[in-house]
């Protein structure tokens, strides 16, 4: 049976459209040193360790679970303070424009707090043609399955016509829970090795995804 054509793109934000890997590593390493914990130091090491739920990732780095809420607030305050300096993935805008010109509807659904996501997008008007973004109600980076499912129901979006583009195993899990298709970029927050070991279809960058979907 031939797969239905893609009409909707669900975008992840951090690491997929926004190139914040190096920025996030530097910030996390500063916190690790402040709490006398071992820093990760390299992007390669970071990509092998980063994961969801964020509370488990922090615990694996050595942070006491009881101070997770405090550490999360410190991290996010610092992150948003320097947000304007974070670049987009170099091919993010062109890829989104290619999808738009191909007639695809696009939305960002993120594990970020919605208020923070909206502030970030205000600084990056290149994505103003997207549908209004969806995010979480707090900063603790939980699952985005429920908000994605609610968005699909509100919009009347068919799972068979939806492609989720992300950069982590959580994005794959979200797509599987929604029943939609998924592809992941290899230059985000988790390594190609980890993504492919879970059975994900991966591409080196967004341009490669656009070439595959909109030849």
In tens, the pLDDT along 61-87 reads 999 989 999 999 999 999 999 999 999
In tens, the pLDDT along 5-47 reads 999 999 999 999 999 999 999 999 999 999 999 999 999 999 9
The predicted pLDDT at position 111 comes to: 81
The order of strands in the sheet holding 162-166 is 134-136, 105-113, 8-11, 162-166, 181-185, 202-203
Average pLDDT over residues 93-98: 98
Phi, psi dihedral angles at 211 (to 5 degrees): -65, -35
The predicted pLDDT at position 33 comes to: 96
Our measurement of the distance from residue 22's CA atom to the centroid of its chain's CA atoms, rounded to an integer in Å, reads: 14
- Checking if the pLDDT of 116 tops 50, the result is yes
Cα gap 209→126, rounded to integer Å: 19
The predicted pLDDT at position 143 comes to: 66
| Interior/surface letters 133-145, b for 16+ CB within 10 angstroms, e for the rest | bbbbeebbbbebb
The predicted pLDDT at position 138 comes to: 55
- Checking if the pLDDT of 141 tops 50, the result is no
The predicted pLDDT at position 140 comes to: 53
Percentage of residues of the chain with pLDDT beyond 70: 96
In tens, the pLDDT along 144-191 reads 888 899 899 999 999 999 999 999 999 999 999 999 999 999 999 999
- Checking if the pLDDT of 142 tops 70, the result is no
Output the average pLDDT for the chain.
93
Statement: 8-19+88-213 belongs to CATH 3.40.50.1000: yes
The predicted pLDDT at position 1 comes to: 36
In tens, the pLDDT along 179-208 reads 999 999 999 999 999 999 999 999 999 999
């Amino acid at each position: 049976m031939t797969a239905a054509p893609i009409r909707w793109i669900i975008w992840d934000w951090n690491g997929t459209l926004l190139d914040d890997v190096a920025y996030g590593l530097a910030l996390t390493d500063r916190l690790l040193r402040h709490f006398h914990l071992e820093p990760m130091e390299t992007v390669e090491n970071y990509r092998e360790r980063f994961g969801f739920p964020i509370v488990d990732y922090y615990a694996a780095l050595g942070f006491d679970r009881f101070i997770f809420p405090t550490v999360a607030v410190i991290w996010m305050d610092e992150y948003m303070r320097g947000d304007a300096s974070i670049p987009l993935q170099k091919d993010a805008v062109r890829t989104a424009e290619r999808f738009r010109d191909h007639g695809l509807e696009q939305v960002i659904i993120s594990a970020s707090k919605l208020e923070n996501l909206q502030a970030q997008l205000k600084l990056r008007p290149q994505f103003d043609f997207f549908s209004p973004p969806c995010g979480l109600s707090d900063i603790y980076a939980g699952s985005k399955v429920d908000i994605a499912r609610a968005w699909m129901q509100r919009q009347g979006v068919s799972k068979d016509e939806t492609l989720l583009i992300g950069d982590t195993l959580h994005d794959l899990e979200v797509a599987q829970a929604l029943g939609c298709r998924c592809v992941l970029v290899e230059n985000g927050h988790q390594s190609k090795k980890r993504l492919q070991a879970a059975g994900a279809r991966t591409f080196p960058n967004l341009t490669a995804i656009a070439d595959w979907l909109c030849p």
